[in-house]
Amino acid sequence: MNNMPEIWFPHLGIEIPHLSNIAISIGNFDVYWYGVIIGCAIIIGILLATYEAKRSGQNSDTYFDFIFIAIITCVIGARLYYVLFSFDYYSQHPKEIFNLRNGGLAIYGAVIMGILTAIIFTKKKKLNLGLFLDTCAPSLILGQAIGRFGNFFNREAFGGYTDSLFAMRLMESQVRKSDLTPDIINNIVNINGTSYIQVHPTFLYESVWNLCIFALLMYTLRHKKFNGQVFSMYAIGYGIGRFFIEGLRTDQLTIANTGIAISQVVSICMIAAGIIIYILFLKNKKNSHISD
């Protein structure tokens, strides 16, 4: 490959000579960076949530109990979401439904299942749902910001062709052919015998956006006016960012043969849900003051 970098940000002057998606190999078993990064994101999220629980006078053990349940339900939700909207493939290869090592986890499926799990969990434990969701929201968005770098190691979840400041070049031989759109193929560059695609690093866009939302949520957490406020801001903020970033991606899951990206539809629903949650919890806060 003429010692050319595998990943290249030409306008930023950043070159990465080699970046394997395998962290370590134990015999014939490979541990992928994607799984390592997701694992780190979960651990950091747990630490943050339990810290916030202690700070706000809650029982941190409650959040440990929830996390153990949520990890299982969220993985199931993420896989079901992906399989459902890739049903043409999985209907022909049903055994692949359970093969998680080949990828196929959708973050929105995990988020939706996580919220449902939280609703059921807090109801059974007789906990304040708004307070519980507020405590978890910063951990969730931080975990999402970290987790996106798993896509970077996998050379996936990128956008269409661009020549902008943050344009990212990937070796054509190292990406899935199904992710290459006509505009990317028409702008392939060949440098010293190595073919590169040049695309939007949407993993980076979303990670940076999520970090900004995280900072906003952490500030709001210290100054919130009512329970549920932080989570509603998470839903609105993440939904807005994901809607626009999803429009750049080339690996969108779509609704049947409509060409409509399901994640953009879910983003709109999430924004609307965030607004409704904000209004309902605010109204509940006002009513409680009146009754007092």
Burial bucket for residue 113 (CB in 10 Å: 0-12, 13-18, 19+): buried
Domain of 199 in residue numbering reads as 7-291
pLDDT in tens, 205-236: 999 999 999 999 999 999 999 999 999 999 99
Burial bucket for residue 134 (CB in 10 Å: 0-12, 13-18, 19+): buried
Q: Which amino acid is at 216?
A: L
Q: Whole-prediction pTM value?
A: 0.90
pLDDT value of position 93: 76
d(CA 188, CA 195) in angstroms, rounded, equals: 7
d(CA 90, CA 56) in angstroms, rounded, equals: 45
Judge whether 2 lies within some domain. Answer: no
What length is written for the chain?
292
Number of structural domains found in the chain: 1
State both tokens at 64: 């440990």
pLDDT in tens, 94-130: 877 777 766 677 888 999 999 999 999 999 999 999 9
pLDDT value of position 279: 94
* Under-70 pLDDT residues of the chain: 1-2, 101-103, 286-292
Q: How many helices (H) and strands (E) does the chain have?
A: 10, 7
pLDDT value of position 287: 63
Q: At CA 161, angle to CA 107 and CA 155, rounded to 5?
A: 45
pLDDT value of position 103: 65
Q: What residue has token string 């002057």?
A: 13
Judge whether 18 lies within some domain. Answer: yes
pLDDT value of position 2: 65
- What does the longest C-alpha to C-alpha distance in the chain come to? 75
State both tokens at 86: 């890739």
pLDDT value of position 292: 43
Judge whether 91 lies within some domain. Answer: yes
Give me the phi and psi of 112, to 5 degrees please.
-60, -45
Judge whether 1 lies within some domain. Answer: no
Are the C-beta atoms of 58 and 135 separated by less than 8 Å?
yes
